[in-house]
Every structure is written in structure tokens, then in C-alpha cells.
Amino acid sequence: MKKAIVLVSGGLDSATCLAIALDEGFECLALSFDYGQRSNSELEAASRVVRSMQGVNRVVHKVMKIDMSSIGGSALTDQSIPVPTKEKSGIPHTYVPARNTIFLSYALAWAEVERAEAIFIGVNALDYSGYPDCRPEFIEAFQSLIGLATKVGVEGCKIKLRTPLINLTKAEIVLSGISLGVDYGLTVSCYQASEAGLACGMCDSCRLRKKGFADSCQSDPTRYFYELDGMPLD
Amino acid sequence: MKKAIVLVSGGLDSATCLAIALDEGFECLALSFDYGQRSNSELEAASRVVRSMQGVNRVVHKVMKIDMSSIGGSALTDQSIPVPTKEKSGIPHTYVPARNTIFLSYALAWAEVERAEAIFIGVNALDYSGYPDCRPEFIEAFQSLIGLATKVGVEGCKIKLRTPLINLTKAEIVLSGISLGVDYGLTVSCYQASEAGLACGMCDSCRLRKKGFADSCQSDPTRYFYELDGMPLD
């Protein structure tokens, strides 16, 4: 049976990505990272998402504990840098240096050992925070690296980097996931979710997620603990 | 002062690489990985090497603990796979899936946070074990990725991946290091060194190192605990 590594953060995009990989008939090896991020509730969400998608195809889930907070440089890995709650131009402080390069490197190692033929990552370059490592040109460069970096690549096996969401709006992602039975109530997207998984409603990730539900006319199952500009968020 | 990240494993090549970076006037940030490798004596060697090169320029040393043994797939990260002690064709079992991709990804993250302008890695494609991620084509692909993966890249800063040893023989590397004052007695190259840092003398890495000292007519300070084919090794 064909295998895929799927990066699963616990958020809306990666849950959709996992559902797509399963729908395509892959045996999925879900990979999450405990990298010192602000909120542990994402990892709990990742576990819930994986459990909810166990079905005909087996889903293995590996959570790797890796050290990124000793490097810091981001609001997500350095508690002294606040998470921005207003939209600004440019790449926001929530950008984590080289995060997707690091995550994909581990995914590549696991794909090689497991002889997986694909790596799925839920990057999106439309309704996104402007992170450089979510753009198609980054994905293409990493794809070029894959064949050169590995023994299986030298032997002629091709591991395909799959980004099924990259050209979708957040609304299209929501509709795609709902059509595949994704329960978005299990997911946590907020950059500073509470331990209980309640979302702030103000960070970039919350704003994009809200927009996705609003634009797709779907009810938003997210549990928020703040109000933005005095307006109720759900 | 210009800064460089230098990957330091504790072996002969990376010690030489650090000496070259310092000689070029870089403030060096040495990066080592505790990745579940067979021998802790490499990391002790890395610390000794860094300490020995503290001079006019400051050398910071970071040892990152990362999980690679849960992925396995190599004699260096899976104790059930023996280290080969005879030369064979093909990529040996000591190849660690995507190791240099993972190491360089962390180096890239740190380089971005520190605003370093270079990353030094002591890969060598002549007297080497045939690992795909030591070849010039891999290095070129990672260089292409760097500008696309990072915020500093998008902003136009170029982090240069430096591989001063890539086209040198092991003998040339030894001569280069000796001319820069490297004390190779501090280094450990063996894939299965004892806790005390004694080398097996039989693995690929030991054979290449021995060849380097022999071909350069330099005395070999390595402490071996085996004999190969009944011949004394030093």
C-alpha cells in the first residue's frame, strides 16, 4: 500500500491535508513536532485529529520533540516576543526561522526510512501570514533537494512533496475538508490558544480561519475566549 | 564583525573547517548535535575542539539535542544495525537519512536569528563514504533553498553555504588543518568510538582518516583500540 508522511500541526489546514491524503488512498504516517511552541493545545488537537481519521487506512502518529526555542527569533518560540494581534504589512513576528525547512527535513528522513512515496504539507499561499516557507517557490526548491539529499533519491526513487492546499482560499480549504468529513471542532489554529484550546480570535491565524468559515458560509466551531474590537467573534 | 555558523561534529573535517572559518576572520557560532549517535565521545571531542580554538575571536558553542533515533534507518542511530568494518561498494549503512538536510536546516535557523552571513560545513566528496548529502549537487540545492526559505532571504540578505573541504583529499585537509594549528589529537572521527574516544580503526571513517595522515606523511595522533588484519594501527 502506498505510504505518505503527512505533517499535522493540529490546525485547520493540516487536518484537511490529512483527510485529502487518506482520501487518495495513502497509508498515512502523521508527523507532529513539539518544538517549544506557545500552546500545547495544538499537539492535543493533532492527536484528536489523527484519532478521528483512523478508518480503513491505518494512521500512525509520531510526535517528535525538537529544540527550537534555544534558537528563538519568533513570537511562537520566544515568550518575550508578543504575538501580533493587528494586521500589519510584511512578514509577522510569528514567523519561525526555517521552521518548514526543519519540519520537511525530518519528514524526508522518515519518508526515506519508511519508503513513503509522498510528503504532504498543508501550506497555503493565498490566505496566509506571508511566511516565505509557505510559497510555491520554496516548495519547488525543497522538491529539488529531495532527490539529491537521500540514498533513495540517488537510487532513483522519487519522494513527491504534495501541497494540495497551496492555491486554495481558506474558504475553499474549509469546503474541501467538510466534504471529506473533517471535524474542524477538533482543530486548533490559534497562535496563542489557551491550554484548553480556546482561541484568541485576534492573531493572524484566527483571523484567517474566521474568514474561511465566513466566506464559505459554514458555521465556525472554534471556541474563542476574546472579543475583537467589542464585536462578538462567533 | 562578520559571523558564521560552523557545524562541528568533533571529527577531523569539521575541526579543520572551524579553523578555516576563524582564519578568515569570522566570529564563529559552533553547532553540534546530540542526535542519538552511537558515541558520546564525538560530542566531548566537539567541546574540546571548540575550547582549543578560543582565541582573538569568540567561539560560541551550542549543542542541540534532537531526536533522530526514533526515525532510525542507520547504523549510527539504530544499535541493531552494525557499523560496517570492511569497504564495500554503494552507500554504507552508516548513512543517516537526511542528516545533513536536518543539520543545515537548524544551522539556517540559527544563522537567520544571529544575522550570520555564512554557514560552514566540512563535507568532502573525495575521500568520503559516498553519502549523497556530502556531494556538491546537494550543497548547491541547499544553497538555492536558503534564499527562499527565510525572511532574511526574502529581504535580500544572502547566507552563503561554505564548504572549503569539498574538493580536497583527506591528506590535503590534514595539511590545511596542521598549517592552521589544529590539534587532531582532540578530535574523534570513528563511527563507533569508545566512551573514552578510542577509535576502532576499521570503520569507513577510521580508514579515511588513517589514509589522510599516511598520505600527508603526518604522524597520526588517533588512539585506536583495535588492530586491523593483525597490523598495529599506529
Which has more pLDDT, B210 or B57?
A: B210
The CA radius of gyration of chain B, in Å to the nearest whole number, is: 17
Q: Is the pLDDT of residue B228 over 50?
A: no
Average pLDDT rounded to a whole number, residues B2-25: 97
Nearest residue of A to residue B72, measured between CA atoms: A113
A17 in Cβ contact with A118 (< 8 Å): no
A213 in Cβ contact with A220 (< 8 Å): yes
Question: Measured between CA atoms, how close is B5 to chain A, in angstroms?
Answer: 12
DSSP SS3 for B32: strand
Three state DSSP letters for chain A: CCEEEEECCCCHHHHHHHHHHHHCCCEEEEEEEECCCCCCHHHHHHHHHHHHCCCCCCEEEEEEECCCCCCCCCCCCCCCCCCCCCCCCCCCCCCCCCHHHHHHHHHHHHHHHHCCCEEECCCCCCCCCCCHHHCHHHHHHHHHHHHHHCHHHHCCCCCEEECCCCCCCHHHHHHHHHHCCCCHHHCCCCCCCCCCCCECCCCHHHHHHHHHHHHCCCCCCCCECCCECCECCC
User: Which residue from A66, A101, A150 is facing B149, i.e. has the nearest CB?
Assistant: A101
- State how far the Cα of A107 lies from the Cα of A6, in Å rounded to an integer: 8
Buried b / exposed e along B122-158 (16+ C-beta atoms within 10 A):
bbbbebbbbbbbbbeebbebbbbbbbbbbbbbbeebe
Name, in order, each residue with C-beta under 8 angstroms of A217's C-beta and a sequence gap of 6 or more.
Answer: none
Segment A173-192, tens digit of pLDDT: 999 999 999 999 999 999 89
- B151: chain A residues, CB-CB within 8 Å: 91, 95, 97, 132
Average pLDDT rounded to a whole number, residues B21-44: 92
What is the percent of chain B with per-residue pLDDT over 70, rounded to a whole number? 96
Question: Measured between CA atoms, how close is A150 to chain B, in angstroms?
Answer: 6
3-state helix, strand, coil in chain B (%, to 5): 35, 15, 50
Give the pLDDT confidence score for residue B230 in this predicted structure: 47
Bridge pairing between strands A27-34 and B59-65: unpaired
Q: In the 8-state DSSP scheme, what is residue B199? A: B
Q: Is the pLDDT of residue B229 over 80?
A: no
Average pLDDT rounded to a whole number, residues A3-7: 98
Which amino acid is residue B184, in one-letter code? Y
Give the pLDDT confidence score for residue A226 in this predicted structure: 65
Q: Which residues make beta-bridge pairs with B173?
A: none
Give the pLDDT confidence score for residue A230 in this predicted structure: 47
Nearest residue of B to residue A101, measured between CA atoms: B105
Inter-chain contact A109–B98, Cβ cutoff 8 Å? yes
Identify the helix (H) or strand (E) that includes residue B161: strand B160-162
Q: Is the pLDDT of residue B234 over 60?
A: no
Identify the CA nearest to B25 among candidates B47, B56, B52.
Answer: B56
Segment A145-172, tens digit of pLDDT: 999 999 999 888 889 999 999 999 999 9
The pTM (predicted TM-score) of the whole model is: 0.93
- State how far the Cα of A164 lies from the Cα of A167, in Å rounded to an integer: 8
| Chain A positions touching chain B (beta carbons under 8 Å) | 62, 64-68, 70-73, 91, 95-102, 105-106, 108-110, 112-113, 132-133, 135, 137-138, 141-142, 144-145, 148-151, 153-154
End-to-end CA distance of chain B: 42
Segment A69-91, tens digit of pLDDT: 889 888 888 888 888 888 778 88
Confidence of residue A227 (pLDDT cuts 50, 70, 90): very low
Give the pLDDT confidence score for residue B135 in this predicted structure: 94
Inter-chain contact A97–B91, Cβ cutoff 8 Å? no
Q: In the 8-state DSSP scheme, what is residue B167? A: T
Q: Is the pLDDT of residue B89 over 90?
A: no
> What domains can you pick out in chain B, each with its CATH number?
3-188 (3.40.50.620)
- State how far the Cα of A135 lies from the Cα of A124, in Å rounded to an integer: 7
Which has more pLDDT, B81 or B174?
A: B174
Inter-chain contact B138–A148, Cβ cutoff 8 Å? yes
User: Which residue from B62, B73, B102 is facing A70, i.e. has the nearest CB?
Assistant: B62
Confidence of residue A232 (pLDDT cuts 50, 70, 90): very low
Distance of CA B56 to the CA centre of its chain: 23
Give the pLDDT confidence score for residue B160 in this predicted structure: 97
Q: Which of B68, B115, B150, B161 has the most A C-beta neighbours within 10 Å, making it the best mutation to test the interface with A?
A: B150
φ, ψ of residue A28 in degrees (nearest 5): -105, 135
Give the pLDDT confidence score for residue B147 in this predicted structure: 92
B83 in Cβ contact with B93 (< 8 Å): yes
Inter-chain contact A65–B68, Cβ cutoff 8 Å? no
- A73: chain B residues, CB-CB within 8 Å: 109, 112-113
The residue behind cell 516565505 is: A132
The residue behind cell 592552521 is: B180
Confirm whether the ipTM is greater than 0.95: no
Segment B111-162, tens digit of pLDDT: 999 999 999 999 998 888 889 999 999 999 999 999 999 999 988 888 999 9
